[in-house]
Amino acid sequence: MKYMIRRCEIKICGLTRREDVLAAAGAGADYVGFVLVPSSKRHVAPERLEELTQNLPPHVRKVGVFADAPLENILATVKAGTLDIVQLHGNEAPEYAKQLGDKGVRVWKAAHLRREADVDFYADYPAERIVADAAEGGSGKRSSWELAAMLARRKSVMLAGGITPENAPEALKEVNPAGLDLASGVEDTPGIKSKEKITMLFNHIRETE
């Protein structure tokens, strides 16, 4: 059975190798994501971004994931020209995100949706998109698709958390997000992507369009 879904955007996140960045871009990814959080098992240092992202197709946008980082650190990384979007993955208050936005930074915010009150909060959060993720990003655990669908009716949402090539079509049908955000679902080990799984993801999605 083919689901009637609109074309969504795809982000491959937690990239640590140039070959995986090229595989994601070559398969059709709209966004490539890099985790700039030192405690993460997918961490990359800001000084590696130029090497990882050089000469990508113009349509592929580069997302840097930060968690409770000093504002000046984020702005310095953005100023270096290696990022198009900043994704906040910590406990950043709306005022913090607004400060970035006021400086011309495109901001996404990760959200762990647990109750309907969270939907109300993030519907008003000053970010271009909300990344509806599981409680622990990159864990492979599913986020709440029901709450994500509620938020997607009010805000642009990237659905993350436990998305795989196999369940991506169902996720699109159930949530109708602006896009999907995958890390562990297309990996062999943390930070090491599988070209086969990335290709499978795009094949499964195209079969439903």
Annotated catalytic residues are 13, 133
Residue 121 near residue 112 (C-beta atoms within 8 A): no
> Which two three-digit tokens encode residue 62?
């580069």
CA nearest to 189, candidates 140, 141, 135? 140
Residue 96 CB contacts under 8 Å (≥ 6 apart), including other chains: 71, 88
> Which two three-digit tokens encode residue 167?
């369940």
Residue 208 CB contacts under 8 Å (≥ 6 apart), including other chains: 2, 3, 5, 169, 172, 173
CA of 17: how far to CAs of 20, 34, 37, 42, 88, in Å?
A: 5, 10, 16, 10, 22
Local structure of 134: helix, strand or coil:
coil
